[in-house]
Amino acid sequence: MSTATAKLLHGEPLSLDDRAEVDSLVVGARTVGARVDLISKGDDPQHVHVIVEGFACRYKLLPGGQRAIVGLFVPGDVCDVHVGLLGVMDHAIGTITECLVKRIPHQEIEALMVKRPPIRRALSWSTLVDEGILRQWLTVNGRLRSDERIAHLFCEIHARLTAVDRAGRDGFQLPLTQEDLADMLGMSAVHVNRVLQVLRSREIVTQQDRWLRFPDRERTVAFAQFDPDYLHMKPRAGGAA
Amino acid sequence: MSTATAKLLHGEPLSLDDRAEVDSLVVGARTVGARVDLISKGDDPQHVHVIVEGFACRYKLLPGGQRAIVGLFVPGDVCDVHVGLLGVMDHAIGTITECLVKRIPHQEIEALMVKRPPIRRALSWSTLVDEGILRQWLTVNGRLRSDERIAHLFCEIHARLTAVDRAGRDGFQLPLTQEDLADMLGMSAVHVNRVLQVLRSREIVTQQDRWLRFPDRERTVAFAQFDPDYLHMKPRAGGAA
DNA sequence: CGGTTAATTGAGACCACTCAACGGCTGTGG
DNA sequence: CCACAGCCGTTGAGTGGTCTCAATTAACCG
């Protein structure tokens, strides 16, 4: 079962047949280097992108040169299912790490959605979840303390990676720089650095090599006020153990 | 032509026939008082809501009792076209002013989308725009100064009201309290108050009665770094003059 | 080993918050 | 008509959070 299938199963039960269909979509993915745009602002994209492996993000650049990251893609995520309706992109999508990416013509996706209603529902579910994540980021960035914000983001990434079986029980490999984190959280990189030190000293998280761990996951979740309901995951029989 | 039709025309040309169909959807809207929930957190909603008149918002309440407003509805806006796919609401939708609201069973919307592809495209366009607005709020709230943030929000509201012919050339009636603004902008109400005073003293905006005006719209737009591309409006012949 | 990117540190300034109090307007009931 | 309550806007004082700029150390790559 592909990563994309694993993710979609959290939203909609899919028959073995449907799963095979989704799996076949992502064969022949190509490798894209780190820090490369998949879609640039101003493009009129004709392809849906599936991130099979690696981390990518949506971002906006402001006139002042500042960057805001307004979305994170982890393995299994699908970018812009309904692309092609809007015309010109008002932001860009770029890789963070090296990624395995499959480009799919949007007509192909639309044909599939017509042919296979469960897949249509699964894809629509995933866009609704994306919207929910956006709302949660807005909430968290606007109303939580900066230490809680960082911890909340880590909890979210952990939950999303767990859904596609890319995380350990108490941590995951974090490929984001402190500057990436800052641009997601609306903070300065320097402040991210200092707050991270506090989180480590309080053992809310630990960091070794590239792994971020929660010594006490319950405690971190409570600290971050993390409630995963906004991810709308229905743990399914047949999913990852 | 109804307000909802006026809004949708900015995304997709609709035949007179399609317009009539949309118009007929919103007959029999009911009046809802100010500060009333249309949908509460935890509900499993079966209806799409159309705000025919008035202001409403999406909001989240945090454990600490703080509120975050994560979306604003103005006349013509449709809430949750794809409702019913997600199950339980992770946030609430409530009125700000007294509103005229039409509730539409989601099956009816789905049937209409099947029967009338242009209407399906128009509604899908509107959900994509909602997502674009969310991304813009995240960007602005994370990376602009507080005075720019407030000005940006005013520019957005003006643009959206203009699309449904509810604004004057240089201003509009603003029914939001400073606390509402604060919860949209991720600021404290006290700070909104003080920054507003600065904006008024610099004549970025003026406020009299309940009207908010831009003495020099170009200047305010530049000050706010407001670029309406994220609203994806294609001004159409046949729309408001 | 040199070059580059990322993480860390310090200092100082300013932004934005909280708490608390006060003023103004409006609708209601006596 | 007036008194009152309640909501909203405004103000002051003081604190803490967060930023910027710049310099330093550490980690990584070829």
| Structure tokens given for B86 | 């997600």
The answer, for B133 touching chain A at a CB cutoff of 8 Å, is no
- Per-residue confidence at A238, pLDDT binned at 50, 70, 90? very low
pLDDT of residue B235: 63
pLDDT of residue A240: 43
Q: pLDDT tens-digit profile of A44-53?
A: 999 999 999 9
CA distance A211 to chain B (A): 27
- Per-residue confidence at B241, pLDDT binned at 50, 70, 90? very low
Secondary structure in 3-state letters for chain B: CCHHHHHHCCCCCCCHHHHHHHHHHCCCCEEECCCCEEECCCCCCCEEEEEEECCEEEEEECCCCCEEEEEEECCCCEECCCCCCCCCCCCEEEECCCEEEEEEEHHHHHHHHHHCHHHHHHHHHHHHHHHHHHHHHHHHHHHCCHHHHHHHHHHHHHHHHHHCCCCECCEEECCCCHHHHHHHHCCCHHHHHHHHHHHHHCCCCEEECCEEECCCHHHHHHHHCCCHHHHCCCCCCCCCC
Q: pLDDT tens-digit profile of B130-182?
A: 999 999 999 999 999 999 999 999 999 999 999 999 999 999 999 999 999 99
- Per-residue confidence at A239, pLDDT binned at 50, 70, 90? very low
Between chains, do A58 and B135 touch, taking CB under 8 Å as contact? Answer: yes
A-interface mutation test, from B40, B124, B139, most A Cβ less than 10 A away: B139
Number of H helices, E strands in chain A: 8, 11
| Structure tokens given for B109 | 């919307």
Q: What are the residues facing B47 on neighbouring strands?
A: B105
Between chains, do B138 and A137 touch, taking CB under 8 Å as contact? Answer: yes
CB B67 within 7 Å, strand C: no
pLDDT, mean over chain A: 94
In strand D, the nucleotides that come within 7 Å of a protein beta carbon are 7-13, 17-22, 28
Q: pLDDT tens-digit profile of B208-238?
A: 989 999 999 999 999 999 999 999 997 654 4
pTM for this structure?
0.96
CA dist A151 and A28 (Å) reads: 36
Between chains, do A70 and B232 touch, taking CB under 8 Å as contact? Answer: no
Could you give the C-alpha distances from B95 to A96, A125, B39, B87, B158, in angstroms and in order? Answer: 40, 26, 10, 22, 19
A153-163 in b/e burial notation, b at 16+ Cβ within 10 A?
A: bbbbbbbbbbb
Between chains, do B143 and A68 touch, taking CB under 8 Å as contact? Answer: yes
CA dist B215 and B213 (Å) reads: 6
